Amino acid sequence: MGQNLFSKTLISHSLFGRIKAMAKRKARDLSRKTPKRETYKTILIVCEGEKTEKLYFEDLISTKKLSSVNVQVYSGRGSDPESVVKTAIEEKDKQSQHLEFDEVYCVIDRDAHQTFDDAKKLAKEHNINLIVSYPSFEYWYLCHFKYSRAPIVKTGGKSAGDNCVALLNKEWNAIFSMNYNKAQEGVYRVLLPYIETAIENSKKALVEANEDDELNPSTEVHCLVDNLRKIKQ
């Protein structure tokens, strides 16, 4: 059993290592080419997180070979939902002279943010789509491995988001024999074998959340992921 666990750990680390190396090679290749606008729609994505969400969507874009002109990803200038929406408005306006985005998305966590309602109002005024996760983006990752609608709440000194990460880490460790890392590169490709399960679980959770009028936990990330996966169709 010890030998099997050791082998499994080596395989997991090797997998993540290969994906990281591939990502670096692709980045070098892309840096040598001038990206151009393709015929499919243009999408602007602004993420609350500086690492997790942005890295995930950049990896999706790279994997699906989408143009970095058509689909652009930024981190919000500020970690609260309202700052993320304001960043999207600023970026949209800045590029408006040479590029009109067909769709704009802000990927945010509900958690315990105080500016959530202000962000919703501002997004509606500027025709921006909010992609909200309750309590955090990691619930989307959790949907790749299991379905759960048990509320994820603050306990002691840990936020609901912290506890969501802890739940994910149990599943992550069981599958990959290593701890989950918010700054991990290549996560879209690593989780690709589980993507259909994730979409199914995420859709089911969102339907139940709206029926029960209890959004914790749920996520809308599958809506954006599905959109990007089918953008060339």
pLDDT exceeds 80 at position 89: yes
Strand residue runs (E) in the chain: 43-47, 71-75, 103-109, 129-134, 218-219
pLDDT exceeds 70 at position 28: no
Residue 65: the pLDDT is 97
pLDDT exceeds 60 at position 90: yes
H helices of 72-131, in order, are 81-95, 116-125
Q: Are 81 and 116 in contact (CB under 8 A)?
A: yes
Residue 9: the pLDDT is 56
pLDDT exceeds 70 at position 76: yes
Residue 208: the pLDDT is 98
pLDDT exceeds 60 at position 53: yes
Residue 153: the pLDDT is 96
Nearest alpha carbon to residue 149 among 202, 222, 220:
202
- Give the pLDDT band of residue 44 (cuts 50, 70, 90): very high
- Give the pLDDT band of residue 50 (cuts 50, 70, 90): confident
Q: Which two tokens stand for residue 41?
A: 């729609």
Nearest alpha carbon to residue 23 among 31, 12, 35, 33:
31
pLDDT, mean of residues 148-168: 96
Q: Write out the residue range of the structural domain in which residue 125 sits.
A: 2-31+40-229
C-alpha–C-alpha distance, residues 42 and 231, integer Å: 9
Number of domains in the chain: 1
Give the CA count within 13 Å in the CB-facing half-sphere of 209.
21
pLDDT exceeds 60 at position 34: yes
- Give the pLDDT band of residue 7 (cuts 50, 70, 90): low
pLDDT exceeds 90 at position 30: no
CA 32 to chain centroid:
27
pLDDT exceeding 70 applies to what percent of the chain? Answer: 87
> pTM of the predicted model, to two decimals?
0.88
Nearest alpha carbon to residue 26 among 183, 231, 192, 186:
186
Which one is predicted more confidently, 233 or 134? 134
Q: Are 135 and 160 in contact (CB under 8 A)?
A: yes
